[in-house]
A and B are shown apart, each in its own frame.
Chain A
Amino acid sequence: MFELDLRSRKPIYEQLVDKLKELIINDVLRVDEKLPSVRTLAQQLTINPNTIQKAYRELESQAYIYSIKGKGSFVNALAKNENVEELEKMKDELKKLIAEALFLGLSTSDLYSLIDEVDDVVGGGYTND
């Protein structure tokens, strides 16, 4: 289903949480679809079942998945706050870009007009969304 980077500095369970979130957000795993069992995943990826259990628990506490006793874990219908993290990330990236642009001599008013410009192109879609 996916590969983990065992050499990476990132803890394996964090990698698992991120990968599964990505699959859920991108609709590869659909609402109410069953996630692979801990046992299958452990065997496929050759990683500790306790690590997978931990990742599943983490996803459950963040409401990405729900579990039914004796049946397994399923994808939750996504709550609206799903994008909070993505938005935070994007804000950070924008900040960096803006800082760079300001450094290179772009004025704030140029920035505002840029935002208006972009908003004109995609804006319509947003308001009707």
Chain B
Amino acid sequence: MININNVSKDFERSVVLKDVSLHVNQGSIYGLLGSNGAGKTTLLKIATGILQQDHGEVVVNEQVIFENPHIKNNVVFIPDVLYFFSQYTVIQMAKFYEDIYSNWNAERFAKLQQLFGLDVNKKIQRFSKGMQRQVAFWLALSAMPDVLVLDEPFDGLDAVIRQKIKNLIIQDVADREMTVIISSHNLREVEDICDHIGILHQGSLILEKDLDDLKSDIHKVQIAFKDGLPTELFNHLDVLHKDQRGSVLLCIIRGKDQDIAKHISQYKPVVYDLLPLTLEEIFIYEMGGVGYAIENVLV
């Protein structure tokens, strides 16, 4: 559905994106993660055809998106810093959206008003930050896009509204196979709804994977042996990290859980525990190799 191939982008002399390739299937919810300044917003703006890349191509629904109103008609982007025309009320802004997006659904707009409970005749800029964000979602979802791109979408929303909005997005994904890209620096926020994850670091995409595969492919193992560590224990294991804590050895091992269990049980450990990792831990160990102290940034 969305294919970004070998895209690079410079601003002045600073390189923001280096040879990034990213692929999102139709009906998928894709989480784009990365530290501050990794290039997430730039990548999303290129993906939606707002910015033009220096090199590479961006294809949405088999067509180049840049300056292509036909494709953009089905794409809605909610930026991290919202923009509404000054002095516009919600209903005026909705009228504007209706003129731009041919799939505008007035019935849904009315339905969502009941859900959000905001006054349509109030000027948008009089609303609080969180309420303005609700207006953005309200307008975006009423435009019935095929592709919804969200840049840090849940900032400033309370837990109840956040859940409501996630639920609305999920309904559209289930009903009409809407494709969603969500960027975030908060892992927990996206862990529950995304099926694919991409990690952007200093302008390069260092990992792109199915979230469940990612989780079931890497494990934390605690083992202890009666008479010291057998030397050949790690021969056939892909060990990312080892940590000796007293007589218990803690290691992070890549591989299928059954294979690891089978291999280790040969050596008859007295203590043996195998746990999947949380997304946060995966980041710490995956990005440890890239030389980035991720645990201080991703909370």
A residues contacting B by CB (< 8 A) are 6-7, 9-14, 38-39, 42-43, 46-51, 54
- Is there contact, CB below 8 Å, between A12 and B275? no
Not counting A14-B212, A48-B173, A50-B28, a sample of 15 additional A-B residue pairs whose C-beta atoms are within 8 angstroms of each other reads: A7-B188, A9-B275, A10-B215, A11-B212, A11-B215, A11-B276, A39-B171, A46-B163, A46-B166, A46-B170, A47-B193, A48-B193, A49-B170, A49-B174, A50-B27
Cβ–Cβ contact B170 & A54, under 8 A = no
Question: Which residues of B have CB within 8 Å of A50?
Answer: 27-29, 173, 195
The yes or no answer to B277 lying at the interface (CB within 8 A) is yes
Question: In the assembled complex, which residues on chain A have CB atoms less than 8 Å from the CB atom of B174?
Answer: 38-39, 42-43, 49
For the residues of A in contact with B, the DSSP-based class is helix
Q: Is B191 an interface residue (CB 8 A)?
A: yes
Residues of B whose CB lies within 8 Å of any CB of A are: 27-29, 163, 166-167, 170-171, 173-175, 188, 191-195, 211-212, 215-216, 275-278
Q: Which residue of A lies closest to B279 (CB)?
A: A9
Q: Could you tell me the distance between the alpha carbons of A12 and B278 in the complex, rounded to whole angstroms?
A: 11
Tally inter-chain residue pairs, CB-CB below 8 A.
60
Q: Is the CB of B276 within 8 A of A47?
A: no
What's the least CB distance linking B10 to chain A, in Å? 35
Given A13-B212, A43-B174, CB of A48 within 8 Å of CB of B275: no
Q: How far is the CB of A39 from chain B (nearest CB, A)?
A: 4
Report the bound CA distance from A12 to B211 in whole Å: 10
A14 surroundings in chain B (CB, below 8 A):
212, 216
Which of A7, A48, A54 sits near B194, CB closer than 8 Å? A48
Q: How far is the CA of A99 from the CA of B277 in the complex (A)?
A: 29
Q: Which single member of A9, A10, A38, A47 contacts B192 (CB below 8 Å)?
A: A47
Question: How far is A44 from B117 in the complex, measured between Cα atoms in Å?
Answer: 22
The chain A residue sitting closest to B275, CB to CB, is: A9
Residue among A42, A43, A50 having the largest count of chain B Cβ atoms under 10 Å: A50
* Structural contact, B170 and A43, CB atoms closer than 8 A: yes
Interface CB pairs A-B, < 8 A, 19 = A9-B215, A9-B275, A11-B211, A12-B212, A13-B212, A39-B171, A42-B174, A43-B170, A43-B171, A46-B163, A46-B193, A48-B170, A48-B173, A48-B194, A48-B195, A49-B174, A50-B28, A51-B212, A54-B212
